[in-house]
Structure 1
Amino acid sequence: MKLILIVDDEVDLTTAYSLLFQLHGYETMTAANGREALDVIARRRPDLVLSDLMMPVMDGVELSRRLRNDEATASIPIILMSAAPERHTLSDRNFDALILKPARFQTMLEKIRALLPD
């Protein structure tokens, strides 16, 4: 079973996403920000990271940069989500896909399946 780490400071969203992904055959873990996500990843490496862009403590841009710059995590697929991507500098492309919020669950599932083939 593929493991998805869901990173978002909105607890209701992480809970809903987690339940929906579990219903579609994925195992999930959650974190409230990038710093917490790094701690979670240090304990158990996910197959994919789905992260919000705007979060306190450490945002999704910094999280993706750190994951890509670490040999142990550089190959983990990263999907960033944002309602306002224009507020961020995304030119470094340290992620594999960007999803605009509010996102349809089917869109998220399609991106995940494309990055995590069976």
Structure 2
Amino acid sequence: MTDTNNTSDMLTGGNKGNAQLIYILYLASIIVGVTSIIGVVMAYLSKDQAPDWLKTHYNFLIRTFWMGLLYSFIGLLLMIVLIGWIVLIATLIWMIIRCVKGLGYLGRGEPVPNYQTWMIP
């Protein structure tokens, strides 16, 4: 019976392993590309059933996806004037730092402080 509850918790977002998987999918998207889309869908599906401290991680992950997409789009537009490479590299570094810091908070069982920031918490 406990195995069913653990599986149910993981699928509904009540387990921090789900958030950890999403962070890993985001980092894998650096190489694979599409895994972040899977991750953001999982975050949207999991955030409502999660405890409050874990909701901060899901909201942080959702914001990371959309802001990363925005920064990448701006970088691509700025490729015309050759400054786009700098913006894209900065976006990549920004995303890696956000994911690593988020994983650190998750590993300690802490909520993400100031998860609504556009920068790094």
TM-score, reference length from structure 2: 0.30
State which structure, 1 or 2, has the greater radius of gyration over its C-alpha atoms. Answer: 2
Choose between structure 1 and 2: higher strand proportion: 1
Choose between structure 1 and 2: higher helix proportion: 2
TM-score, reference length from structure 1: 0.31
